[in-house]
Structure 1
Amino acid sequence: MNDIIPLKFRLAAAGLHIINALIPFLSIFVIGILWLIIKDIHPFLDRSGRNALNCALNTLLGTIVFAAFCMFVFSITCGVGNQDPSAVIASLILLSFVMFSYSIYSVVVAVFALSGSHFGSRLIYPFIRSI
């Protein structure tokens, strides 16, 4: 498939995913603007941009849901005014693993995009779908 897709399009698609791996929270705006600019150039860029934006949205929403869940669980089990920071530190360690897994996913998808392939995952919810 990489003979059909020019190298500059594959590099642009891989770049969208690498942006998500490097700056996870600001990447929603950067990827969204870049995707709106380049989505009409080639269908591969449209699909890769949607995939990168969906991954960025999943990263942000997954972090928010995880933090809210941890605050809820720790307020119920440990008490709101608990002075022991071990529960908060444990949740931050778990959150860093979640963020690291999304970054690794972005790098893997960037490698697939560089080779001209599409890598779909069931773990990434498609907020933005094709029309």
Structure 2
Amino acid sequence: MITNFLHDNYKNITRVSILDAKKVFYPMKYVLEKRDILIDDDSALIILPFPEDIKYPSNTKMTDAGMLWDYKVEISINNQSALTENQLMRFLNKKVIVVFHHNDGKIIFGCNEMPLQYGYSEDNSVNPAAHCGYSVECRGNSYYSKVST
């Protein structure tokens, strides 16, 4: 579900919060009512990316309940410290909700009933000028209501 989405908000993302879907209350009802989500920064994985480090392509399919969005959120991290890897490992193979924070609000992907699957991989390159770090990938389906509220 995307909330407070304006065309240029993707350029202004200042922070990404990845939340364990089992530890946050954000049910489908809230998604369809366009409600906000409460975030506990201590239990979240917080990433401070550059806008060019984020990609979130999606495909859509219309169903009886509304439009089904198939998301693939990708975030590049240009850092290979042990601390970064330990933080990334905390969420490995968990179901998550992803929140992009921007100047005018939030963009929220997933909910309790339809969370995204979290994973990450190490990015290495033999080219010293190339990106070395990690790639975080969160993918899954989410509904966007046909009914405007």
TM-score by length of 2: 0.26
Of structures 1 and 2, the one with the larger relative CO (CA 8 A, separation 6+) is 1
Structure (1 or 2) with the larger CA radius of gyration: 1
In terms of fraction of residues, the more helix-rich structure is 1
TM-score, length-scaled by structure 1: 0.29
